[in-house]
């Protein structure tokens, strides 16, 4: 699947940000402010991990010869950081190739002006940004600040980089909020458990989430609702389905009496996300699904029925498999593979679909870069031995780019020969 996705991108869209597989051309878009080749940079580490050596060399050659950083434009700081910077850094730490390090540093320097705000919170980003620190460049160290009091211990999604005040009280573990929570526990792990502030923030946030947002449906499905100024919205987005994996990862480092509870919570949430897949005609999950008016784990609005090759559900399968070795997670992952092959593979790549409940899929003509960076990587790792990018040695950024745990004088084991 990875080779098919890459080969078609290379043939029809090399240098563009994404492949349009139905029309066999490339898409640039405006999210990356003039940067090109998002799929190349996002795919680097997946190609390397899968030992697709020829394809990895093609991608590396493009980065060396054609990746132009002399661009001007308004970009999403968050997306550029997780895809481009994350992809380059992961490729560097996996291979030691200096070209990836130099490109990451050059791009990182272009992002720094976004932090020139009264609070130090970057503009154009609603989530915590984490640029992995290279020892020779202290200017990229993680920046923290004391946030004002949080409503109910929850972090709303919108914060003013000028005043440091919450702009509106919308709390979501899905879109706009997801990576913030994920990076709290992962910042602590990446620091080799030295960043105790991040761990404390994670523990407190998870406690508040469980108290105010975690609910159980009439049919017994556990889900995480959204919160709007004190009113619960009983829906869960596909993006929020990463949280099963996050909670399971955090459970490994919880107090003994809490660890089992959090593992059970992680398994319940992951099961709910699996149900959102199995209750659709295509066996792929919708963008958002609801738990009200008798509806359980299904989209009720036409605008929520699409699937754009997202990775979050299979991401949780990977973490739950690695941490429990319950064979059902591999079975569920294989079901997702079969559903992708049946509904999303077209003649020249993979495409998202507009309605997961339709018996004949309508394709959206877009092979997202994160399909190669995340969805296929997580599925591949689900069927690998545990020492291939071991969770003991590596932390995945929110785009599934592996970064090494920052241990001094330690040798890294990739598990890739």
Q: Could you count the other beta carbons within 10 Å of the beta carbon of residue 327?
A: 9
Question: Is 300 part of any known ligand binding site?
Answer: no
Contact 399, 83 (CB under 8 A): yes
CA 249/CA 50 separation, integer angstroms: 24
Task: Give me the catalytic one of 18, 195, 226, 312.
Answer: 312
Dihedral sign for Cα 269, 271, 277, 281, please: negative
CA 318/CA 368 separation, integer angstroms: 20
Task: Give me the catalytic one of 287, 296, 304, 374.
Answer: 287
Task: Give me the catalytic one of 18, 45, 178, 374.
Answer: 178
Task: Give me the catalytic one of 79, 296, 315, 399.
Answer: 79
Nearest C-alpha neighbor of 267 from the set 255, 280, 253, 251 = 251
Give, as one character, the DSSP assignment of residue 388.
T
* Whether residue 182 lies in the annotated active site: no
**Where are the extended beta strands (E) located within 37-140?**
none
Give, as one character, the DSSP assignment of residue 346.
E
Nearest C-alpha neighbor of 308 from the set 366, 349, 377, 243 = 366
Contact 332, 274 (CB under 8 A): yes
* Whether residue 79 lies in the annotated active site: yes
CA 390/CA 387 separation, integer angstroms: 5
Q: Cite the active site residues.
A: 79, 178, 287, 312
- Residue numbers belonging to the annotated binding site for Ca(2+): 398
């Amino acid at each position: 699947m990875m080779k098919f996705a890459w080969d078609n991108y290379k043939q029809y869209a090399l240098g563009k940000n994404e492949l349009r597989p139905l029309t066999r051309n490339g898409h640039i878009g405006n999210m990356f402010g003039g940067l090109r080749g998002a799929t190349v940079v996002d795919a680097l580490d997946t190609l390397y991990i899968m030992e697709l050596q020829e394809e990895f060399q093609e991608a590396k050659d493009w980065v060396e010869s054609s990746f132009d950083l002399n661009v001007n434009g308004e970009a999403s700081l968050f997306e550029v950081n997780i895809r481009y910077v994350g992809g380059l850094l992961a490729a560097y730490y996996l291979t030691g190739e200096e070209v990836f390090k130099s490109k990451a540093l050059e791009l990182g320097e272009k992002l720094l002006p976004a932090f020139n705000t009264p609070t130090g919170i970057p503009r154009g980003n609603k989530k915590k940004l984490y640029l992995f620190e290279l020892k020779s460049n202290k200017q990229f160290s993680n920046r923290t600040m004391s946030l004002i009091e949080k409503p109910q211990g929850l972090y709303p999604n919108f914060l003013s980089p000028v005043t440091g005040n919450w702009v509106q009280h919308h709390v979501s573990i899905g879109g706009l909020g997801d990576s913030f929570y994920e990076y709290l526990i992962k910042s602590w792990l990446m620091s080799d458990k030295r960043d105790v502030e991040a761990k404390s923030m994670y523990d407190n946030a998870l406690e508040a989430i469980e108290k105010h947002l975690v609910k159980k449906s009439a049919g017994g499905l556990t889900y995480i609702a959204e919160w709007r100024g004190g009113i619960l919205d009983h829906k869960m987005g596909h993006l929020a389905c990463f949280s099963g994996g996050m909670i399971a990862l955090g459970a490994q480092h919880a107090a003994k009496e809490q660890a089992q509870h959090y593992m059970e919570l992680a398994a319940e949430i992951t099961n709910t996300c699996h149900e959102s897949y199995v209750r659709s005609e295509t066996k792929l999950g919708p963008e958002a699904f609801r738990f009200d008016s008798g509806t359980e784990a299904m989209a009720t609005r036409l605008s929520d029925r699409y699937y754009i090759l997202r990775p979050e559900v299979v991401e949780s399968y990977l973490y739950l498999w690695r941490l429990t070795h319950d064979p059902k997670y591999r079975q569920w992952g294989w079901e997702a593979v079969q559903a992708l092959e049946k509904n999303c593979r077209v003649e020249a790549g993979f495409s998202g679909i507009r309605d997961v409940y339709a018996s004949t899929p309508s394709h959206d003509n877009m092979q997202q870069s994160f399909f190669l960076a995340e969805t296929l990587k997580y599925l591949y790792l689900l069927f690998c031995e545990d020492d291939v990018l071991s969770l003991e040695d590596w932390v995945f950024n929110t785009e599934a780019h592996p970064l090494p745990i920052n241990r001094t004088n330690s040798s890294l084991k990739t598990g890739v020969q």
